[in-house]
Amino acid sequence: MHSPHDVMLRSPAARSCRVAIAGTITNAATGEVMPQAMVSITAAPDVFGEGLLGIVTAAMAHCSTACYDATPQVPTPSVGPLSTAQTRLDACGQILGVARPDQTHSGGDGHYCFLDLPPGPYTLTATYSLADRCHGTITAQVEVPQICHWLTFAELDLAISLVPGASPPPVAEDARRSALPSDGPSDGQIPVSPGENPTPASIPCPNIPRAVALPH
């Protein structure tokens, strides 16, 4: 029996690659699929966060001091292992060259999936931005079951409500640390900035590029 940390440390070719969460990202206003949306795990069982933090710690042990200089000092006990690992990956993930099991993108058909996750409750946040035209985000919860066969996985479809204008700055760290929200998805809609058209609460944002499917 291998721990989740051991599984996450394996190369993709060596993993079992069992689908744990899968779904489709769509435009809430039109129902069209949305390729290249970022889907992130923003809350998860501790065992997942500890495994991800173990990957980051092992990678940082072999990186240059530049990585440490770029990494903010996070008090691990106060924010939890997942938030600590994600903060370090956001700061120097490119330097470390570590694959991120906590993030994926929707493919050209709008589908996304996460592989090899421990069972338990997860919060996913999907975000989409199209240049300076529109952006949107949605957060929802899903329970990954105890997987007893290959065809068992949690399904979570996410419909993003788009608002006009450029994407806002990245979400503050405090938002990532928040507890699981109440039952049901939240549309995560961001208010329109002053000077922008306040009328549409959700817009079609046409001409979303139909990119080829990205690797999950």
Helix (H, G, I), strand (E, B), or coil: what is residue 123?
Answer: strand
Task: Please say whether the beta carbons of 186 and 140 come within 8 A.
Answer: yes
pLDDT by residue (tens digit) across 44-98?
999 999 999 998 888 888 776 556 555 555 544 457 899 999 988 888 877 787 8
Cα–Cα distances (Å) from 24 to 141, 152, 185, 199, in that order, read 14, 17, 14, 28
pTM over 0.75: no
Using alpha carbons, select from 183, 133, 127, 162 the residue that is nearest to residue 28.
162
Residue count of the chain: 216
pLDDT over 60 (residue 180): no
Beta bridge partners, 136, equal: 128
